[in-house]
Amino acid sequence: MDHFQIRDGVMHAEDVNLAALAKQVGTPFYCYSSATMERHFTVFRDAVAGLGDGNPLVAFAVKANPNLAVLATLARLGAGADVVSGGELARALAAGMPASRIVFSGVGKTRAELAAGVEAGILQFNVESEAEIDMLAEVAAAKGATVEIAIRINPAVDPKTHGKISTGGADAKFGIPWERLPAAFAQAAAHPNLRPVGLAAHIGSQLTKLEPVEDAIRKLGDLARQLEAAGHQIKRIDVGGGLGVPYRRDQAPPPSPADYAAMVARATEGWPWRLMFEPGRMIVGNAGVLVSEVILTKEGASKHFIVVDAAMNDLLRPSLYNAWHDILAVHPKTARTRATVVGPICETGDTFAEDREMEDVAAGDLVAFMTAGAYGATMASTYNSRPLVPEVMVKGAEWAIVSQRNQPAAMLALDAKAPWL
């Protein structure tokens, strides 16, 4: 369910006409719908509300969309944040997310990043290695602080998703192999500045099967009971994020938040611990589109190319993961074509769709790449010295630029000729 609909022959984001918006801000640009984001967050929050100890924390995975306005929108609804860098921590705090709802994940947090988390007084560090246990203990001791940690386990389950976003397999770089968890807990408990109080797992992203998640959650429960029997006090269990979103209108959708919550309810029945969730994609994926103008069309030896002014530097997912985004005309067309949609970048990988049956758009027409709210703008770069794509947030009939297009002169100003040139 999203709020990008055709109205009077043109696609709108809520009550904002996307063609009119394109005239004002130029293309390409990302456009987010507040209502869609709010709806997805509240649907998820309400679905898991009674689980665990009855007070779950839904910590939005900031890496899916770290825009300040996005974070502030979610913060107002009570969202916490799952951050994976010092930069994301600073954004979550700046957006008004209280430290008591922030969890810090990541396989390679630096000492400076750990220190920033300790200073902010965040709820929990999800520690991913034995080495990090000792590092965090040192950092906390230097600040005279005691911090609560969860240990992220590698549950060794196959999440059955794309290899590049699969994080739960036995050989993934994430977490501590679950067999070593008791030893890691004992190691952490021996540090006076650490309080190991939780377990965490996150097995992958764009998950379309619930069974692997359920296996991981049951494993967390078994391990928590084992640790309690060994004398540790467990407070929280973080089951990660990963629920998939529908990218294609012509395919069956992945499990809904209600299906997911029913599975979690089953797997966590009778748990006394606080549950934590880290959804990213499912909150913001369908809440964003990338609007782009067709520069020209051209005929190859056998292919019909549509060349648009967005490129892989603006939306990397098709190039990186072979990901599918529906591409719709902002002014719907009845004529159909079979086309390969590409950007202007000098890489064959700069391809959004290969020989796809789609609406027949021509030079000057606008297209919308759907479901681009997650892992879109956040992965943008300035490759080919292209300006960073701007972001616009819509609420009802109002809109605001929430991230500026940086200008070529400003980008150039970051460089310097070396003194000998």
Ligand X SMILES: *Cc1c(COP(=O)(O)O)cnc(C)c1O
Least separation in angstroms between residue 167's CB and ligand X is 7
Residue with tokens 């979610």: 74
Please report the DSSP string for 161-222 in residue order: S-GGGB--STTSSSSEEGGGHHHHHHHHHTSTTEEEEEEE---BSSB--SHHHHHHHHHHHH
253: number of Cβ within 10 Å: 13
Least separation in angstroms between residue 40's CB and ligand X is 11
Residue type, 229: A
Question: Which residues share a beta bridge with 166?
Answer: 204
Q: Judge whether 347 is annotated as a binding position.
A: yes
Q: How many Å apart are CA 108 and CA 84, to the nearest integer?
A: 9
Q: How many Å apart are CA 256 and CA 385, to the nearest integer?
A: 40
Least separation in angstroms between residue 98's CB and ligand X is 19
Least separation in angstroms between residue 105's CB and ligand X is 4
Nearer to ligand X, 2 or 278 (CB): 278
Q: How many Å apart are CA 92 and CA 60, to the nearest integer?
A: 10
3-state secondary structure at position 357: strand
Positions in 170-209 near ligand X (CB under 6 A): 202, 205
Question: Which residues share a beta bridge with 369?
Answer: 290, 327
Least separation in angstroms between residue 200's CB and ligand X is 8
Residue with tokens 């979103």: 245
User: What residues contact residue 125 under an 8 Å CB cut-off, 6+ apart?
Assistant: 103, 104, 109, 114, 117, 136, 147, 148, 149, 150
Residue with tokens 């390409």: 28
Is residue 31 among the annotated active site residues?
Answer: no
Q: Judge whether 317 is annotated as a binding position.
A: yes
Catalytic residue among 1, 252, 301, 346: 346
Q: Is 281 in the site for ligand X (CB under 6 A)?
A: yes
Encoded one letter per residue, x for contact with ligand X by CB under 6 A and - for no contact, window 71-110 reads -----------x-x--------------------x-----
Contact 81, 72 (CB under 8 A): no
Q: Judge whether 270 is annotated as a binding position.
A: no
Q: Is 395 in the site for ligand X (CB under 6 A)?
A: no
Q: Judge whether 321 is annotated as a binding position.
A: yes
Positions in 150-169 near ligand X (CB under 6 A): none
Task: Determine the interface stretch with ligand X among 33-41, 42-50, 117-125, 239-247 (rule: CB under 6 A).
Answer: 239-247
Q: Is 365 in the site for ligand X (CB under 6 A)?
A: no
Q: Is 64 in the site for ligand X (CB under 6 A)?
A: yes
One residue of 80, 159, 196, 241 binding ligand X per CB under 6 A: 241
Nearer to ligand X, 166 or 319 (CB): 166
Distances (CA, A) of 309 to 316, 351, 411: 14, 12, 19
Residue showing the smallest CB distance to ligand X in the complex: 280
Task: Determine the interface stretch with ligand X among 60-68, 135-143, 184-192, 361-369 (rule: CB under 6 A).
Answer: 60-68
Q: How many Å apart are CA 21 and CA 13, to the nearest integer?
A: 10
Task: Determine the interface stretch with ligand X among 73-81, 175-183, 257-265, 276-284 (rule: CB under 6 A).
Answer: 276-284
Task: Determine the interface stretch with ligand X among 228-236, 268-276, 277-285, 356-364 (rule: CB under 6 A).
Answer: 277-285
Q: How many Å apart are CA 104 and CA 124, to the nearest integer?
A: 6
Q: Is 254 in the site for ligand X (CB under 6 A)?
A: no
Q: Judge whether 383 is annotated as a binding position.
A: no
Q: How many Å apart are CA 391 and CA 381, to the nearest integer?
A: 14
How many of the chain's residues bind ligand X (CB under 6 A)? Answer: 16
Question: Which residues share a beta bridge with 353?
Answer: 341
Token pair belonging to 61: 């995975």
Nearer to ligand X, 191 or 202 (CB): 202
One residue of 80, 242, 257, 343 binding ligand X per CB under 6 A: 242
Token pair belonging to 190: 């021996």
| Residues of each annotated binding site for substrate | 281, 317, 321, 347, 375
| Residues of each annotated binding site for pyridoxal 5'-phosphate | 242, 278-281, 375
Catalytic residue numbers, as ranges: 346
| Residues of each annotated binding site | 242, 278-281, 317, 321, 347, 375
Residues that bind ligand X (CB under 6 A): 61, 63-64, 82, 84, 105, 202, 205, 240-242, 278-282
